[in-house]
Amino acid sequence: MEAEPFPELKIKPADFLNKLDGRSKCSKCDRSRKFYCYTCYLPVPEIKGRVPKVKLPIKVDIIKHPSEVDGKSTAVHAGVLAPDDVTIYTYPCIPDYDKDKVVVVFPCETSVSVDQLVRRDTNNPSKCESGLKRAAPSNDEQTDLIPNKIAKVDYVGNDEKRCSNGKPENTASGNGLCQNATSSVESDAQKANCLIERVVFIDSTWNQCKSICNDERLKGLQCVELKSEKTKFWRHQKNNPATYLSTIEAIYYFMREFHQQFVDQAYTAQYDNLLFFFNFMYKKIRNLYDGGDNLKAYKSEQFLI
């Protein structure tokens, strides 16, 4: 394990987390927690205001496998650090998605890269190609054009948004229920010249995630794959390549690529703090395990390539 897993990133120092004495009660549910509550997605009261808050350019839904241990899941980091833009569901609770405006980050035979997300037709701003290029269109295939209209989705108000199984679900924002309202204010996604409104991530082991991805409610969503980054995650992934990222890593790298492709301003570390807790825990594990070089996750052949 390297001393600095992300030396080029501007991540807020987290040394103050080491000064926390024991566990604390969550300000919302009163459960005993360390650093943050993985049920309410809140930092413990002692560090409230010191944990960075990240604004994302596109809304994020995380579908968590029920067997995934909340206290070990890096998906919770996103809920704590970007509460206005991240909603976490527990499978089988899945929203009903508009398949033209939502993508799922998952490697498969038909997945595309982030830079294949279609941009606005610059010759006619009133028209926009449909959300994504398909995996392998023929040379003479024409992509349908649809109006360029993106609604900003916030999680405010008092109306419960229910999953397709009829049950309300906890969310990383609002008052604990997945709620929604429409605003005429331009979102970063609108400014991004891209029709995609929301991106879905699956939070589970790689062996478990197939059952979620094969769910009928996710079928038809275009898959997006992140191929160029290697994970720094300390949990061993048997028989999987190092390009299979942890959930928070996948969210971070997707946001970086999405910003670079679609947001009309230079990237200035806006999303680096998504890795705030991940970076801290990586270093903590490295210290606990004498440099971490003997951890199974870093001895696998995939990491030696």
Q: What does each of the 305 residues of the chain score in pLDDT, given as a tens digit?
A: 777 889 999 999 999 999 998 899 999 999 999 999 999 999 999 999 999 999 999 999 999 999 888 888 899 999 999 999 999 999 999 999 999 899 999 888 889 999 887 653 334 333 333 333 333 333 333 222 222 222 222 222 223 344 544 444 455 543 333 333 223 234 554 445 568 899 999 998 777 887 898 899 998 899 999 877 888 866 655 656 667 788 999 999 999 999 998 888 999 999 999 999 999 998 988 777 655 566 555 555 444 33
* Residue 26 Cα distances to 29, 34, 43, 44, 46, angstroms: 6, 9, 8, 6, 10
DSSP state letter for 67: T
- Phi/psi of residue 223, nearest 5 degrees: -85, 140
Given a contact cutoff of 8 angstroms between Cβ atoms, the answer to whether 23 and 54 are in contact is no
pLDDT at res. 70: 83
Six-digit token pair at 20? 């926390």
Residue listed under structure tokens 């004498």: 290
pLDDT at res. 87: 97
Write the single-letter amino acid at 208.
Answer: Q
Given a contact cutoff of 8 angstroms between Cβ atoms, the answer to whether 235 and 273 are in contact is no
Q: What is the CA radius of gyration of the chain?
A: 20
Helix, strand, coil fractions of the chain, as percent rounded to 5: 25, 20, 60
pLDDT at res. 166: 40
Beta strands (DSSP E) in 138-236 are 145-147, 152-154, 181-183, 198-203, 222-224
For residue 256, give the 3-state DSSP assignment.
Answer: helix
Cα–Cα distance, 35 to 182 (Å, whole number): 33
pLDDT at res. 51: 97
pLDDT at res. 292: 53
pTM: 0.76
